[in-house]
A = this chain, B = another copy of it.
Amino acid sequence: MIRVQTEDFDIGAEVKALTSGRTDIGALVTFTGLVRDTNGGTVSSMELEHYPGMTEKELVRIEAEANERWPLQASLIIHRVGKLAPGDNIVLVVTASPHRQAAFDAAAFLMDYLKTQAPFWKREETGDKSYWVDARESDGEAAAKWDT
């Protein structure tokens, strides 16, 4: 399941929705990405731009690939767009599996692929300046390791 939304998400509620009434899930991993104030109080806000249409397609594709690679019983990707403040949630990934290694690996994979393939762009506002966040080389390397 994937969602692109401006509203915040509630980790507890999302997890409950995925697991309630089920007794087959042994391991559930969540990853939450938050707006981090990298310079000690200078980032006043962040704007998340995306490519409507393609974003949803990419998230569906990435989720399907994780489900092909690991025996997942449930998966969820929520990504927020629009204006966010330091401390706000940006992204939530949830994976559930009978065993913990699959849940951990699938969640890390989803984040690595999302970071390099889903069309989102961050702009940080610092005081009266704003700048587009640069892509990190380490994200490309993290995603590349799943190709082996």
Contact = CB atoms under 8 A, between A and B. Distances in A.
Interface residues of A, number: 35
A34 B29 contact: no
Interface string A77-88: 000000000110
Nearest to A99: B138
Instruction: Please state the number of chain copies in the assembly.
Output: 2
Interface in A31-50: 31-37, 41
Contact of A28 (B23, B31, B142): B31
A142 B104 CA distance: 13
Interface of A: 10-13, 15, 19, 21-37, 41, 86-87, 98, 100-101, 103-104, 107-108, 111, 142
